[in-house]
Amino acid sequence: MMNQIFRITFVTFIYKRYKQTILSTALLLLVLWLIEKIHQDFVNYSQLNEDTSFLAVSFGLKWFAFACVTGLYTAWNLFFKRESFKKESLSKAERKKYGQLLNDEDELEDDLIAKMRALPTSKATSKFTAKTTEKEPQNEKDGEDAKPDPFAQIRDKETLKSKADFVLHKKPK
């Protein structure tokens, strides 16, 4: 049961992430198959009429159509897909949605990497960096405008104890 859930989740993740590429590849294969079927019908028709004078031209047109369709597919997936996520072409709502997901070159980057970069560093991680460099403010909210961090005391502790630790170290009366 769990194996099927993982499989469905994985397939859904792959489809959502590569939806445009999957659909354009399926369309490419459909168009190539359609061109091949049309060409095969013309070859059968010309053989039935015993008129093979245009077969060479039909093969040339078929391969030219294959090259054009494949070129359009490549251009769509390599060039036009990147242009759709430029900051200048996004509306205000789209900029808000994709704002943190665009890197310095205005290209869409991975959701997880963008979210990790957007997170402020905690005091616990800044302790390790403070040893080598002087501590600088991590974001603009440091100072008076910053909201109190409810987990600051926990992050500052050197060791954390669980309920089990308290039970084990509790002295009998």
Average pLDDT over residues 18-39: 94
d(CA 87, CA 78): 18
Residue 144 in tokens: 């008076």
Residues in the chain: 173
Question: Which value, to the nearest 10 degrees, does the dihedral of the CA atoms of residues 53, 58, 63, 66 take?
Answer: 180
Looking at residue 20, what is its pLDDT? 86
Check residue 16 and give its pLDDT: 87
| Percent of the residues in the chain that have a pLDDT greater than 70, as a whole number | 60
**Cβ contacts of residue 62 below 8 Å, gap of 6+?**
35, 36, 39
DSSP-assigned letters across all residues of 93-161: HHHHHHGGGB-TTS-B--HHHHHHHHSPPPHHHHHHHHTTS----SSTT-STTPPP-TTHHHHH-SS--
| pLDDT at residue 134, rounded to an integer | 47
| Contact present, 87 and 106 (Cβ < 8 Å) | yes
0.85 exceeded by pTM: no
pLDDT digits (tens, 9 = 90+) for 67-126: 999 999 999 888 776 655 554 555 556 655 555 555 666 566 666 666 666 666 555 455
